[in-house]
Amino acid sequence: MTTPTSPSRDDPGTTVTPPRAPGRCPVCTSTFTPRGRQAYCTTTCRKTAFRRRHSNPTAPAVPTGAVRRDVSAYQCDSCGNRQHGQQRCPDCNTFGRSLGLAGSCPHCDGIIAAADLDQTT
């Protein structure tokens, strides 16, 4: 009595592969029958997917905001002058202290801090 021997290699005559389900191309979403490890329907779709994966993303445009120093007022401790948007006093050449947000007075064209306008007492 002899034992049956298995084939020494897998060849198309001894192996049966189930039919492959149609695939869907991730680029153009068309259906196709893949061959082997094929993931895209055409060479064009394969190259397009490669370019999309390896492209440099563009940075989003960030709008520039107003600089806080431009809308702040500063007062020199030595001479008492107020500057709008300048920290250093042009007369004394010293740094002034911040008064906070400020604007110009419509009547006298002087610099008025927002804290000066808040007189709720």
pLDDT in tens, 58-79: 877 777 766 666 678 888 888 8
Question: Assign residue 117 a region: left if phi > 0, alpha if psi is -120 to 50, beta otherwise?
Answer: alpha
* Domain residue ranges in the chain: 23-53, 68-117
pLDDT in tens, 2-38: 666 766 666 666 666 666 778 899 999 999 999 888 9
- One-letter amino acid for residue 73 of the chain: A
Residue 59 C-beta-side C-alpha neighbours within 13 Å:
3
Threshold 0.75, pTM exceeds: no
